Structure 1
Amino acid sequence: MKIMIVIPARLASSRLSEKLLLRAGGKSVLQHTYEAAGRATVADRVIVAADDPRLVAEVNSFGGEARLTSVDCQSGTDRIAEVALMHEDIDIFVNVQGDEPELDAQVIDAVASLLASRPDADIATAACPIDTTDKLEDPACVKVVMGSEDRAVYFSRAAVPHARDGASEALLSGQPPAYWQHIGLYAYRRDFLLWFATQPPGRLENIEKLEQLRAIEAGKTIVVAAVGPSPRGIDTLDDFRAFQSRLDG
């Protein structure tokens, strides 16, 4: 199968202005993410799907490949679908968020390889165990409930599955894990991606503000690769400063 990594990149950000162009260690956040994606072995090509010429210029400056996508795209998935329309030869498109400069390439490989090996699935994604109450109760930490054969049953900002008697230490440290944190990395089959981009937001999606619930509600199959903890992306100035500090060692 032919696999392409696409990095949807949006210049504006409500929480941290133009964060993809912020520089750390002599490189922009976008360049760090591009290079992290390029370390994956499953894909031969990485493209940035940008919404602004400044982002395209930044990618060109470090020798990457970028495409300027329509201003009408409402989400990163829509930008990837626009790229997919131009590449009928690609079977699987991997969505790597532009603000994930520390994403482990092995996670990309795991997600893409899982989808390639599961002809019954439309999407693959990743999750890591949750082992603290703070993270379990944090609505910014999205949870995924998995059924048999690693299929995603539901995604939520709430602590699911809900423990009637409270999330005990045994539940938080048990094997297999009871709680899983969703990692926002996706691999899509091309035909599913083009279908998905034409669908209106679903009822559950509108409630939880989680795009993947559109697929769940429509009866599509999402499979989940279990991986280790992943560094968080850059949403705030504190996140960026923490990333700078890690780079400086």
Structure 2
Amino acid sequence: MLVKTELTHDGFPLKYAYTNASRQECIVLAMPFGLRIELADAFFRFYQPHYDIVSWESRLILDPPGLETSLDNFAVENHVKDLVTVLRACQVSRAILVGYCSGAGIALAAASRFPKLVSTLILVHGEYVLLDDESCTTQFAEDMDRLLSVAAKSEGHARQVFEKVNSERPLTNNNLPKGIDMPFTKLHYLHRHAMNYLAYKAIDFRGLAQSITHRSLLLTGNKDAQVNVESTREIHKLMRNAEIYVDINADHYGILREDSKTLAVLWNYLTAQQS
């Protein structure tokens, strides 16, 4: 994994990672908001013997304090343009696009806005913010919506949420990948993450799903406490050329773990498409 920084179209530094093997096919991983690129290491290791891999850190959230930001900076359209910026920097004209968690929403938006950039679309444990449907919403999602909606209002409100979350959060959880809670570890991270969430949840992901004609795979799991199977089924039924895979034992984090079943399912799907 090689790591570089490129300026976005609107002048912000954007950290991205890539392999440099010049293979024929490339996989682009759209990571969840507010995670360090190093969390994609297992994904890179698994696929780079056979593909070029590209990923990036979402804009602004993990930048140093003191940077002036607004809700407009976090518009989904800007995240999509960041993807295009990274692909150009890596000289990739067409790729398999894998979106994970909130990255699935960005992947949907990118495939809709720039369909020729995407050869195959894969959405893994997608967060589609279907808060209007109880069957598509987990308790975790409801709690996060409430907390982040407050934290987005101001730095003062973000401080209240930050103190509450950190007073209630367990000190360790060995079942979670290290660094998965990065947006909640610093006050300015949380405030930006919350503003970003407001911009993200304003998008009509059902409408985006209906616009997709790419060959697609959607993965979900029965043990995912963040996003549930029904939300993925809802998006899947709106897509015209999509398969769905439900793993009865999968939680939310398989794509970040070494040699996981999630990584193997993606591999098997891509191999079958080539045959």
Instruction: Select the structure that is richer in helix.
Output: 2
- Higher RCO by CA contacts (8 Å cutoff, separation 6 or greater): 1
Is the shorter-chain TM-score for this pair beyond 0.5, marking a shared fold?
A: no
Instruction: Select the structure that is richer in strand.
Output: 1
Taking structure 1 as the reference length, the TM-score comes to 0.31
Taking structure 2 as the reference length, the TM-score comes to 0.29
